[in-house]
Amino acid sequence: MSSDKVPEAVSAVEVENVLMARVYDNISAIYDLAFGPVMQAGRRRAVAVMGDTAGQRILEVGVGTGLNLPLYQAGTDVTGIDFSSQMLDQAEARVAREGLRPRLFQMDAADLRFADDSFDIVYAPYLISVVPDPLKVLREMRRVCRPGGRLLVLNHFRSTHPVLSRLEQGISPLTVRIGFKADVDMTALFEQAALVPDWTEKVNRPRIWTLAHYTCPRQPE
């Protein structure tokens, strides 16, 4: 008799890149106002956790309008990708306005066009709940992170409280219309990716967002 356990669904809601791109194209002009201040503390905390990044290669998966870009330490080699062309337009305008020097590309987070082990830090801010396949995205992030490098995932995940969990599962088909899935299960996501976070912490207020940190294993000597 097989004892294989059926993997728990990471999210019960299905979305397509085209739908999410359309949502974010439509809100790109007001994104900073609507989602900037309320979630900026989490962005600042994530960049602070990176520590001294001068000379390091950072990939920001889901760079959006570039709200993180001014936070990076001078001398950091930053690459940012996003699927929404309109969000990237906003990021490019920020880069020009503030004299920043990242490389920005339009790209699918589930199909990163980078070689294995390309980056020292791979960071996904508020992205996992807006992609069709969070598991594939996390695996791609792990692939392009060098041994000894770090993954940082900043996101809203489904509550562990039974009542709140059911509520988030119930409203998730509605929240996708404004750009995110409310029911992504962090435990199932990391377990199926075969990754165990070093630590997690709640950020922002209210504390319904989580910052997760994972160190990619070093290769054997």
Report, as an integer, the average pLDDT of 20-25.
95
The Cα 217–Cα 221 span in angstroms is 12
Among 13-22, 64-73, 187-196, whose mean pLDDT is lowest?
13-22
pLDDT at 32: 98
* Closest C-alpha among 67, 80, 70, 6 to residue 34: 67
CATH of domain 17-215: 3.40.50.150
Q: What is the pTM of this model?
A: 0.94
pLDDT at 91: 98
pLDDT at 116: 98
Confidence of residue 221 (pLDDT cuts 50, 70, 90): low
Q: Are 160 and 190 in contact (CB under 8 A)?
A: no
Ordered DSSP codes for the chain: ---PPPPPPS-S----HHHHHHHHHHHTTTHHHHHSHHHHHHHHHHHHHH---TT-EEEEES-TT-TTGGGSPTT-EEEEEES-HHHHHHHHHHHHHHT---EEEE--TTS--S-TT-EEEEEEES-GGGSS-HHHHHHHHHHHEEEEEEEEEEEE---SSHHHHHHHHHHHHHHGGGT--S---HHHHHHHTT---SEEEEESSSS-EEEEEEEPPPPP-
Report, as an integer, the average pLDDT of 75-104.
98
Report, as an integer, the average pLDDT of 54-73.
98
The answer to whether the peptide bond before residue 206 is cis (omega within 30 degrees of 0) is yes
Q: What is the mean pLDDT of the chain?
A: 95
What percentage of residues in the chain have a pLDDT greater than 90?
90
Report, as an integer, the average pLDDT of 5-30.
89
CA 79 to chain centre: 14
